Every structure is written in C-alpha cells, then in structure tokens.
Amino acid sequence: MIVTVDKPRGWTSFDVVKKIRAISGERKVGHAGTLDPFAQGVLVLGIGRKGTKQLGRLALLEKEYEARLRLGIGTDTLDCDGKVISRMPLPQLCEKDIKEVFRSFTRTVMQTPPMFSAKKVAGTRLYKLARQNIEVDRAPVAIEIKSLTLNSFSEDTIDFSVTCSKGTYVRQLGADLALALGTVGHLVALKRMRVGHFTLEESKGLEELSKKWLSTAE
C-alpha cells in the first residue's frame, strides 16, 4: 500500500513512520524521501512488503516545493531551527535581479549536501557529526533545478517555488540563492507540494488516517 501523508511541522519523517506503524499495526513501513522537521507537506509512505518495495522507485520522482527565504541571517542548519552563525547587510532587492539569479540556478548544478542532513559519509549520518561540531568534506552532487519561480518578496524575505530532482536540498538552495544575491540567508518555511503525481491536495492528515484505521478495525 502507498499512502501520502501531509507531514505536520515539528515532526521528523521517522516520527510519521512510527505513527503509521502504531495506527496500522504494520511493522514494515518506510518513506520515499526525508522531509526536515521544520518542513511540511507530501511524505510518500510504503506500507507492508509490497508498499515498501516500491519506495526505491518513488524516491526518484521529481519534487515540487514552496519556500520562504529570510535574508541577512545565516544559521548552522540553513533553516529556522538552527542557531545564528552569520549576519550580513540586506541587499537592495528588485524583481529583475532576483529573477536573473533564479534563471542562473535553473539548470543542472553541483550542490554540496549540508552538514545537517541525513546523507551518510563513511557510514555515518552527517547530522550526527554536525551535532558534535564535526565538519567533514562532502562531495558535490549533480542535481537539476527544473523550475524556480518568484512568488513574492519584501525587504528581507523571498517566497519562491521550485521543482527539482531527487537529492536536492532546498535549504542549501536557499542559502546559495542568498549568497548569489550578496548576503546570507536561511529558510523559515518549506512545504513539499508534490512528489511525482502525488499531490498535497490528495495527501491525508495523521488524524484522518488514524480515524480510517480505527474504523476499519471496528
């Protein structure tokens, strides 16, 4: 079984997996692509043997996000859950300059995975090293930014939508966009709108899924 969950903010992806295990009674549950705790939106889950066998294929699907980038402040996690590590003056933003920067990123680019990520280096998750204040070299990975759309902006924030390939860290993309604009930045909001053909509109909340399995058990 494949289920798409609208992951709530503050939950890890594994928190959702544990919740689905508990309410479904099925021990074999996995997901097709991690969402950060501060992020919301589409989390594709495989339930049972048949469902989990499909996760490798589903993880390859392109993803679409909406994000809000706060400029002038950098954090160690590249999001609002981290501690402030840098500050820079705000640039004088204009729509033309932002769109030019966006166009320069809309291609295949090499992206270095952030230290606060689930990627493994020599068998160890990077975030475990980062929590010990250990930084290691990470090989850049080729990703594809298929579209990058400016939704709105103010003096210190940029709202944008991005469609991208597997392996893209939107937190890192946000930080890189800020640098290209002449400052530092971090994401204060991130919502996954789509994974392949799985959309946010058709995704279920955890409470709705709990009621579904409870009614089935009665």
Give catalytic residue positions. Answer: 36
Distance CA 93, CA 156 (A): 9
Q: Distances in Å between the alpha carbon of 22 and those of 28, 191, 216?
A: 11, 25, 14
Instruction: Please list, in sequence order, all residues whose beta carbon lies within 8 angstroms of the beta carbon of residue 75, skipping any fewer than 6 positions away.
Output: 81, 82, 83, 84, 85, 186
Strands of 48-107, DSSP E: 63-71, 73-75, 84-87
Distance CA 11, CA 3 (A): 17
